[in-house]
Chain A
Amino acid sequence: MNRPERTDHPDVILCPDGPMLLRGDHVVQDEDGQQHRTSRPVSAVCRCGESMIPPWCDGTHKVLSQHCRR
């Protein structure tokens, strides 16, 4: 087994073709100035702009990227 001594544990992860993961407590301000407090150990912020539960991701980006691949 090849394991590094320290494991990466970033506060923010930008998922390719997916959401932005936020670790910990944050207040996210949306495009309309509304503020949304995170409530999970990790939260996923929509980056495709098509989520039905903004500012959070609802997986809609997968439908978009599937259309792009076909």
Chain B
Amino acid sequence: MLTPQARGPLSDRVLAAMRDGATAHLVQVPEAEVAEDAQLTLWALYEQHYRGFDDVPAALEWDPHLIAVRRHLEEDFERILRDRTPPAPHAEPFAETFFAYIADHDGPSVAAHVQRAATSEQVRELLRHRSIYHLKESDHTTWAIPRLSDPVKAAVMELQFDEYGCGDPDRLHAHLFALGLEASGLRREYGSYVDDAPVEILEQNNAMSLFGLNRRLRAASLGFLAAFEATSSTPSRRMAQGLDRLGFPTAMIDYYLEHVEADAVHEQLAVRTICGVLLQEEPDLLEDVYFGAWTSMDLEDRYAERMLQEWAA
């Protein structure tokens, strides 16, 4: 993947420095003029810790000037996300309270639109946007694993092993999505469509990386996971039905059908054996579990609101 198109003065300056390796002047960077300028810059800085860019020297992964810019941007972003988050429910037992919290959340649904009314072109746009995450699906949770106690670590691995195809690359979820993209006539190469991604998609991806890459936010990472899994089975079925209605290829439909079944397992694991056990060990992390959970649902709502509005126009 090559570095994306800049979306303002900040991303322009930082992306240029990443490409030419001259980062020392980044001690003074322009302020982002718009949110997507900051979000794209943060996304590119996080990407250094995944598979990176072909036009950026690999040695820059831990460049202190780039890390300093990232810290500045992620502090701002975390503050924004926390300001959006309502207080956590404290009722016991945790699992039932958490599932009720998810069920009571009423947001707009892209999947319901795909199921009933979306055009093929709208779905292709959606798949391009989703590809930013789905082509590195679950990797952000893997960041959290070394930061966890033995029982929680083992529980996360039980879930992640399934995400990664139980050792079979042809069952790895990100690979299933790549096959679906290819069959649908879309580009399957990692990061192909980042220039098409609206700010809401960049925020979703950045929140996952923020939580995964900061040890102090491990509970938010696992709360995000739990809410993500707990809001996946039914929308995945709707996606599969919509794709079938529009005549999309089997490989794309299969990706979503796999998630109907897998995520009905994963939501139980994420809530009960992962977050539940984490909170038995460290009850003070409850607020952060819900911070992650809220962020997961809220960022999807923001994306859905934007796209449903655009598609209705």
| Interface residue ranges, A against B (CB under 8 Å) | 1-3, 7, 13, 15-19, 21, 39-44, 52-53, 56-60, 62-63, 65-66, 69
Contacts and interface: CB of A to CB of B under 8 A. Distances in A.
Interface of B: 95-96, 99-100, 103, 149-151, 154, 158-159, 161-162, 166, 233-234, 237, 260-265, 267-269, 272, 277, 281-282
Contacts of B162: 40-42
A56 B103 contact: no
A59 B267 contact: yes
Greatest chain B CB density within 10 A among A1, A44, A56, A59 is at A59
A7 B277 contact: yes
Given A40-B162, A53-B260, A66-B103, A3 B265 contact: no
A64 B158 CA distance: 28
A43 to B, nearest CB: 6
A1 B233 contact: no
A59 B151 contact: no
Contact of A16 (B96, B261, B263, B264): B96
B236 to A, nearest CB: 9
B282 A1 contact: yes
A-B interface, 8 closest residue pairs, ranked by CB to CB distance from nearest: A59-B233, A7-B151, A57-B264, A44-B265, A59-B264, A66-B103, A44-B264, A40-B162
A62 B262 CA distance: 16
A13 B272 CA distance: 10
B166 A41 contact: yes
Contacts of B260: 53, 58-59
B233 A58 contact: yes
Contacts of A41: 158, 161-162, 166
A41 B162 CA distance: 7
Nearest to A15: B268
B234 A59 contact: yes
B281 A2 contact: yes
Contact of B265 (A2, A7, A16, A21): A21
Nearest to B149: A3
B281 A3 contact: yes
Nearest to B229: A59
21 contacts: A1-B282, A2-B281, A3-B149, A3-B151, A7-B151, A13-B272, A16-B96, A18-B268, A19-B264, A19-B265, A19-B268, A21-B269, A44-B265, A53-B261, A57-B264, A58-B237, A59-B233, A59-B263, A62-B99, A63-B234, A69-B100
Contact of B149 (A1, A15, A18, A42): A1
Nearest to A40: B162
B228 to A, nearest CB: 13
Given A21-B268, A42-B269, A58 B95 contact: no
A53 B100 CA distance: 23
A57 B259 CA distance: 11
Given A44-B261, A59-B234, 12 more contacts: A3-B151, A3-B281, A13-B268, A18-B268, A19-B268, A21-B268, A42-B158, A44-B265, A57-B261, A59-B264, A59-B267, A65-B103
